[in-house]
Every structure is written in C-alpha cells, then in structure tokens.
Amino acid sequence: MKKGVIKRLWAYVGKYRFAFIISLFTSLICVAGQLYLPILFGKATDLIVGKGQVDLAGIVKIGITGAISALIAGFAQWITDAICTVIANGVVKNLRKDAFEKLQKVKLSYLDKRAVGDVLSVEISDTEKISEGLLLGFSKLFTGVMTIVGTLIFMITINPIIALVVVVLTPVSLFVAKFITGKTYKFFKRQSEISGSQTGLIEESISNLQTVKAYSMEEEFTKKFSGINDDLKKTSFKAVFFSSLTNPCTRFVNSLVYSAVAFSGAMLALYFGQGLFAVTAGSILALLSYANRYTKPFNEISSVMTELSGATACAQRTFELMDAESEVDDGKITLKSACGNVKIKDVSFSYSPDKRLIEGFNLNVSKGQKVAIVGPTGCGKTTLINLLMRFYEIDDGLISVDGIDVKDISKSSLRTSYGMVLQDTWIRNATVKDNIKIGNPSATDEDIITASKKAHAHGFIKRLEKGYDTKISENSLSQGQKQLLCIARVMLSLPEMLILDEATSSIDTRTEMKIQSAFDELTKDKTSFIVAHRLSTIKKADVILVMKDGNVIEQGSHEQLLKQKGVYYQLYHSQFAS
C-alpha cells in the first residue's frame, strides 16, 4: 500500500516535471560547489606545511576561488529551496482540489458512514502534513543523495582505500534509516486516524453545544475527548520516540565513519609515505571534511524519511477518500420541462442488505397532484424523497417521470426539475441575496424581493444591517429565519415539481398559515410531495400516504382517511384532541 501511495504522489509531482528537472540541476551545482571546498582547503593546508614553505599568493588565490564557489553553491541552494516550495505547494493544491471535487461526487452513503470532522481532517490537516513532508523531502533528499554520491567520487580521487572504508560502513546508516522509517510509518498513520476522530468529536460537540448543555452531557463528551486525547498522546509519543532515534543513531554512525577515516588516514600516512595510497596532511584534512559531509546527509535523509513517512500516512487517508465510490450518472436524457407524472412501481430499497426498509412500493402521481406523506419516525418518508431525487439508487423496481425511467435521465436535469425545502436548512457564507438566488442565478433584485415577500421573509431581511446585501453564515440567523430563506429560494426558482420535507417545522403557527397560502399558489398545477408531521398543513392534499415500515398502509384524501378510522384517524385526533 505504501509503495502505491508514493507512486500516486509521484504522479502529482510529474505535473511539475520542468521545475523538478531545474531543481535537480541547481542541486547538482550546489553540491558540486560545496564539495569543491574541502579540496581547496586541503591544497591550502599543503601550502603552509613545512618551515619556510608558506605560499601566501597561492593561499590567497585558493581563498578567492573558495569564496566564489561558496557563493555559487549558496545561490543554487536558494533557487533549489524556492523551486521545491513551489512543487510541494502545487502538489498539495492539486491534491486538495481533487479531494474536494471527489467529495462532490461520492455517494451519500459514504458520507453517512463518516464523521464530518474526520472528512475535514483529511481535506485540511492531512494535506497540510503532506505539504510539510514533501517540502522537506524535496529540499533535503535531492541534495543529500547528490552529496553522498559526490563525496564518494571526490574521496576516491584522493584515496581509494579510505573511500572503500567509508563504503563498507555505509550499510549501517541504511539499516538505521530503514528501521526507523518502518517503525514511524504505522504510528504516524494511526496518529492521523486518531486526529481525525478527535476533530470529528470537536465538530460534533461545538455544532450541537446547546443540546449537549441541555442534557448535561458536558462530562460525557469531556471523558470521550480525554480518551481520544490520551490515545493520541500515546500514539504521538511512540511516533516521536522512534523518529527522535534518528538523530542520535545517525550521529553515532557519523562518529564511526569519521573515526574510521581518521584512523585509516593516519595508518596510511605512517606506512605509505609514497605511491598510490600515500596521503598528505592536506589530503587527510580534506578526507575528514568529506567524512563529515558524507555522513551528514544520512542524518538529514533519515529525518526526511521520517517526515515522508508521516506524509505518506496522511496521503494514504487522502487517497482512500479519493478512491471512494462515486455517484454514477448513466442517464443520457435531459429532462428539460417535466410535466410531473411520477410513477413508482414495485420499488424495494434498504440502506443495509440485512435490514429491509421499503419493499414492493407502488404509487402513481398525476401532473399537479399534491401528495402528502405521513407516518411515524423511521417509516421511510425521507427515504422516499431520497429515491425520487436519486440520492440513493433503488434495489429493485422502477421510478419514472413522464414515462421515462429516472435511470435514463441525467441526475442534474432530474434534480433541477425538483424544488426542495428541507427541515435541515443550508445557508452559505454569503449575502442574503446570494443565498436566495442559488436556485436561479440570473434572477433580478426585483424577483428576489418578490419571492421573499411571498415567503414572508422580506420583513426580517429588511431589519438586517444591510438588508439583502447583509453577509450571513450558518449561525447568524435563527432556524426559522433560515427556513424562510430556503422557502424564498424555491419561490424564486419555480421548479416543475416540489418536495417539501417538514418545510415549515421551525416556523411559528401564524407565519406558517401565511406561508401555506403562498405554498398553495406555488404548488398550483405542480406535482408536489409533502412530508409533514403537522397534519393541519396537508388537509388540502389530493392524496395522503400513510407509511409504516416502508410500506403504504393507507391512501386517500383527508376526508376519506378520517372515515376509515384507521392509523391516520388516530394520528389526526392525537394532534387535535381537546
């Protein structure tokens, strides 16, 4: 799985191929400039060894060359870091974009099974950690690898025997890096998962704080948070513990290599005064400097691998989101102007295969009919709405609009044919005007005001600081005011069919009576599906469906159902009993 994640991340890097190649080139210049300095220092040392043999002019020349080399290396390093920052931020930008686009396409069932906070954690926190890991990886990994290779080449040119000693000790560094990376990956992955759960709990607690306080659940939420926080602390400790082994372990290997170079250089100086393996004082100084430079990248690469391990764990969660099953829109027919004849034939559906909900459901709705759906909680009222809108796909049977199977109709055209007002309102962080015109972006200000008046929202809107230009958010209005805005939104869009799911549940009775007359006008000659608990709002419906356990147990007009003295009769009189 880890290899697959890295491969997919690499595909995102491929979009910045040109910048990547430039960064490799500047890294090469940087490393070459830095590695040339020890040779210059070694030569300068040889020019001052021996009494009366100091070559001051040669030392000055070497110093100027070294300064130029250092400046070139520093400038190349700056360019490399800048390019790597661009690549890392670009990769994460595209990852976030793709992840967000995926969220718009996933099935609702996927989101139903995940906490909102966990999804937010993947979209924001995990991608941020990917950015940090990639930035460190790009900026350190290239120069580190090139430094190791370049150092070995320079050491071989100075003394092959000492270079061989360094190569023999190299596997120790590789083993240490592999061990630490393997341990930290699983802990960083677990850390991201727990962090997502923690974010989900915080979001759940804050968004429902009134309910939490009303039921005195503060202590329960605090205990739950403390439990998750404790798990996060333990997992984070393990992740940090193993990642912190990087520095001392690699420093130990560094010291081992440095000591081996110093010892072997001293032995060669003592026993090989001349010939191929002979070394000078300047050569030993250069080799010791290279030994430091050779081992330092292993230290950095180990840190990089630790960071990349955490980034890879976060990337895996991001890709799991992006791999979630998408909604399939296989409809080829565009429903331009629906008449509103809806037929449901032998429909069966369940959210879970082991728990049936709707079985053998049948319903014929003619154009302009008002269909009210009532019944106890969990009977399938909202589920029926979800099936009409194709938020969920039926398991068996047929749903058609104007004689066309909804599976043959594009989802976008089917859904725009319906106007929806739900019990759960949705308000954007935008102006009142922008919120109302969601259903009809081309509407004029006059149209918006007319729709708001019909929805009885104009009064409270005018009392806002800037009226229709007031910027609002989810928490800046009461539930009733938000519902009035949603009703105005539908009044403005004038769809061919309507779905009203507890559309007036948060509105006072007096306002509801006024809106009901507006709804009567709006639903005139339009097929309407009305889900309601207040039976007083559906008396004028053409057909009332009484549902229980996913089945229609009674069907008829208000008067007909009262005469039957069945479930509807009992529901009605329980609400209006004296």
pLDDT at 303 exceeding the cut of 70: no
pLDDT at 287 exceeding the cut of 50: yes
What phi and psi values does residue 538 have, to the nearest 5 degrees?
-120, 15
Work out the mean pLDDT of the chain and round it to a whole number.
79
Three-state SS annotation for 107-156: CHHHHHCCCHHHHHHHHHHHHHHHHHHHHHHHHHHHHHHHHHHHHHHHHH
pLDDT tens per residue across span 4-55:
777 887 788 888 888 888 888 888 888 888 888 777 777 777 777 655 566 7
pLDDT tens per residue across span 353-412:
777 778 888 888 888 888 888 877 777 778 888 888 888 888 899 999 988 998 888 888
Q: Give all domains of the chain, ordered by start, each with its CATH number.
A: 2-322 (1.20.1560.10), 342-575 (3.40.50.300)
pLDDT at 352 exceeding the cut of 70: yes
For the chain, the residue count is 578
What pLDDT is recorded for position 398? 92
502 close to 423: Cβ distance less than 8 angstroms: yes
pLDDT tens per residue across span 455-471:
888 888 999 888 999 98
Residue 547 belongs to what H/E stretch? strand 543-548
pLDDT tens per residue across span 226-276:
888 888 888 888 877 777 776 677 677 777 777 877 777 777 777 665 555
Which residues contact residue 575 at a Cβ distance below 8 angstroms, ignoring those fewer than 6 apart?
534, 535, 536
Q: Span 61-86, mean pLDDT?
A: 86
Distance between CA atoms of residues 152 and 291, nearest Å: 9
DSSP 391: S
Question: What residue ranges in 416-484 does DSSP mark as E strands?
Answer: 418-421, 430-431, 471-472
* Residue (of 229, 249, 252) closest to 241 by Cα position: 249
